Every structure is written in structure tokens, then in C-alpha cells.
A and B are shown apart, each in its own frame.
Chain A
Amino acid sequence: MTSIIFIHPDGRNVCIEANGAESAMLAATSHGIDGILAECGGNAMCATCHVYVDEAWLDRLSPMGSEEDALLDGAAAERLPNSRLSCQIQLTPELDGLVLRLPDRQV
């Protein structure tokens, strides 16, 4: 199991237990986290599963691909240096405790 903490824009924290073999997006949507829309279902096409990765964790994620990079330019909320698409964050046991902040909007 991998714990992930989602922080909503209003400061509310939600901790979920992911089974570890999925993406952060899938873990979020299957645990009913509002604020992750994932309209395309994880196919890296829509930029509606945008998250801000807590700085402490940023370097531990696999690097961003060019598709994800381009999609983030079209994200509804402001793109920041720690912006990622959660469908592209593959969970591993090493990411236990990962902290992701949710943007104020996805569309």
C-alpha cells in the first residue's frame, strides 16, 4: 500500500491508501477525490488531472515526457514549476507519503 495525501485548495487534507500499482490519478478517482477530473481516463490527452507536487517529492518522480509537458501548457489552472499530470505519476512503494496539491480548477 502507498499513502498519498491530497491537499485541496481550501487547505483540507485527504489521505488515501493506494494499492501501489496504479497511477496517482487512478488512485484519486477510485477514492472519490474531487478535483481530479481525468476526463480522458488516463490517456494523457486532456490535462484535467493536473496536480502540484510537493517540492520534497518532485525529484523522486520519473521525469516528464514531452506530451505531458505540452498538455500542461493547456491546463486550466496556472502552470507552476511543480505542475504534473497525475495520470503520468506511476505509484511505487518509494512514493509512500507522496503529497499532491490540487489546483482550483481542472477545466
Chain B
Amino acid sequence: MSAGISSAPMQVSGSKPPSVPHVDIDPFAIDFFDDLYPAQEALREAGSVVYLDKWNVYGVARYAQVHAVLNDPQTFCSSRGVGLSDFKKEKPWRPPSLILEADPPAHTRTRAVLSKVLSPAVMKQIRDRFAAAAEAKVDELLRRRHIDAIADLAEAYPLSVFPDAMGLQQEGREHLLAYAGVVFNAFGPPNELRQTAIERSAPHQAYVAEQCQRKNLTPGGFGACIHAFSDSGEIRPDEAPLLVRSLLSAGLDTTVNGLGAAVYCLARFPDEMARLRANPSLARNAFEEAVRFESPVQTFFRTTTREVEIGGHMIGEGEKVLMFLGAANRDPRRWDEPDRYDITRKTSGHVGFGSGIHMCVGQLVARLEGEVVLAALARRGVAIEIDGPVKRRYNNTLRGLESLPITIKPA
């Protein structure tokens, strides 16, 4: 692929800062997805901030700058959209999210509600149920032996626990992954992935809009809990359906790709699978390290609210800045042996779930699902071997596989 860096004229006279390195990489192109790591390295090494000529946006790919942008929401806002589209200039493809695409103080209120709905205390209540479902799933897969780790595990397991935890009706659940695919493609530029996804989105949007209504959500589920906060006045009744929508958008496909990443890692690195079998209590960290290593959510944008300096370069107001979370998670400035999957790595600080006020509100659910599935594999003494062609699934934001044929058997 063309990973070249065109050197814009350096300005050395006077006090004018050097211009930002221009890069002709398209981070939303299929060949970028197919050969990710050399391109990510090129983006990191080009400079602390780069300019992507293909889409006329700035980009940050080093850990320090990605972390800094994530943690300065006043300067790098979300209310103008966290995709390429600038909501100040373009009509959003759907009504904006009240949490993801919002800034304080509006964000603070909605965020507090979702944090309570998905708190550590709530995780304690659902833990046994999620763990039992993981054990049952792994037993079923061991009986089948030859499976597709994506459809049969990475998708099947979250689908067996999350929609029920949300309190969704049985009918129509097949729309959930399709809808999430649209949402994450829509953060990207107007390429074929985005346009095709949005063109086909009407039935999925209709399903999700309907499921967000209070009458369709089973009491006790996350969805009903969100609506209950409108009774106590923490949110308005008309805000509740959109907050349910946030969990339906971001609560399933992300964990699918997280679990897929973890199984893909353990299949490719059998020594790490052996360490996990020897010590199943490493399951939670093995999942976390897979999130760092594969970064299922690869990118998000912010928009500058003022002129700001990044790494010695001045960026104007109203500019889109693309954060390469996946590149930051493999930045050798931050991580020892970043390209090594190490289930005992100290992963704290990775930006696979983001960082700062918008950090994934469902991270505890994701970790719970990841932990109980990997622990079930470890406790059953499972060995995983890839036994067919691995196919990538292409999405503007999400990184994951379409198909991962494996043999799963006792080691």
C-alpha cells in the first residue's frame, strides 16, 4: 500500500512552527485494514500530529497525544460528532447520541445515569448468570469441536446474555448487530462502507427505535432501569429512549469484536493459551490485553473548539482530529514489546476503551463477558487451533473478523 509521507515545505524562518507532516494514508481503505501495522507505524513515526490529505483532517497516532486529546474534552469536543462528519456543517445521519455526541454539562447528566445502570455493584448482580451462560456455551462448543469462533462464540455468547440483560423482546434481535455495524461505519468518511451501510439502515433503525420505548423493555433490565431514572427526574422521559439506543448501538458489536480478538489471540499464541489454562485467574487480564492488542474500536474523531497546540503544531478552531486508538495501544514509546500478546502485561492505561469523560460506559460489561468466557475455556483445559481460512470483516471503526474457523478440544 502507499504509506508514503509527503514532506510539506519545512518552515524554519522566524518563530513560525514547522508545518504538520502530510500523510497520504487513507485509514478507512480496505488495503489499510488488510495491512494495518506498517501503516499505523508510519502514522506514529511521521509526527506527533499529522495531516491526512485524503480526508482533510488531522490525526494523532502516538499514545501521549491520543491520551491528551481524549482527556481534554473542552478543547476537543464531541458535540460536533465523533465521526468525520461535522454536525455544525452537516445534518447527522441520525439524531445525535445524548452521551457520545455531547459535551458537558449536558453529557455529565446522561453519563451519570448510564454509569449507575452499568456500575460495579450491578455487575455483581449479573455475574453468576453471565458466568453460567459462558460455561454452558463452552461445553456446547467442545461437543461440536469444529466451529466458527466468530459466529458460534464471539457473536453467540453476547447474544445469549446481553439482549436479555437489556430486557429486549425476543423478536427482531437479528437487527442488533446489523444496526451496530451501521453506527460504527457511519463514523467513517463518505466511502462505500458508510454509504452502503446507511442506505440499508432503515429497517434496523426502525427496530431499534421501537425497542427503546419503555413499553417494550422488560422490568429489571438495563433498558427499564434507564427509563426509571426519568421517574426520579435525573433525565427527561423523552431522553430515556435515546440513552437506551446508546447501549443497543455500542453494547453488543463491541463485545463481539472484543471476544473475537481474544479468541484470535489465544489461537495464534498457543503459549499464552497454555499459561491461561495453567492459571484461569488470568482470564480477565488476557481479555484486557486482547483489547489493547487488537483494539476492536480503532478510531474516533474530535473537533477543536479553539486554536490549540499539539506537539509543537498549531491546529485551528473547528478542525477534525482523528485519534488512532489502535496505534496508541501499540506505541513503543508507551509499551514494551507492543506487538507481543502477553496475558500478564500490566494493561492499565491502554486506550482500547478510550479515556476521560467519554471512556466506554459499558467497559465493565465487556470485561465481565470477556473474563467469564476465557475463564470457561481455561477451566475446561481447552486448546484452540485455527483450521480454515481467516476472513476479516471490514468496518470504518470496528476491527474484527468475519470468520475464524477453529478446532476446540481438550489440550
Binding site for B on A (CB under 8 A): 29, 32, 37-43, 45-47, 67, 70-71, 73-75, 107
Contact = CB atoms under 8 A, between A and B. Distances in A.
A41 B120 contact: no
A39 B115 contact: no
Given A29-B346, A43-B357, A70-B119, 19 more contacts: A29-B349, A32-B346, A39-B367, A40-B353, A40-B359, A40-B363, A41-B349, A41-B350, A41-B351, A42-B348, A42-B349, A45-B361, A67-B115, A70-B121, A73-B121, A74-B119, A74-B122, A74-B123, A74-B124
A46 B347 CA distance: 14
Contacts of B356: 43
A71 B355 CA distance: 17
A45 B115 contact: yes
B355 A41 contact: yes
Nearest to B123: A74
Contact of B120 (A29, A37, A38, A47): A47
The 8 closest A-B pairs by CB, nearest first: A74-B120, A74-B121, A38-B348, A47-B120, A41-B349, A73-B121, A43-B359, A29-B348
Interface in B324-381: 346-351, 353, 355-357, 359, 361, 363-364, 367, 371
B313 interface: no
Interface string B99-134: 000000000000010011001111110000000000
A42 B70 CA distance: 13
Contact of A70 (B116, B123, B349, B363): B116
Nearest to A67: B115
B57 to A, nearest CB: 26
Interface in B190-210: none
B288 interface: yes
26 contacts: A29-B349, A32-B346, A37-B348, A38-B349, A39-B288, A39-B348, A39-B363, A39-B367, A40-B353, A40-B359, A41-B349, A41-B350, A41-B355, A42-B348, A42-B349, A43-B356, A43-B357, A43-B359, A45-B359, A46-B120, A46-B363, A70-B116, A71-B120, A73-B119, A74-B121, A74-B122
A39 B348 CA distance: 5
A47 B123 CA distance: 12
B284 interface: yes
A100 B116 CA distance: 27
A25 B45 CA distance: 30
A9 B195 CA distance: 56
Contacts of B288: 39
B364 A46 contact: yes
Contacts of B122: 74
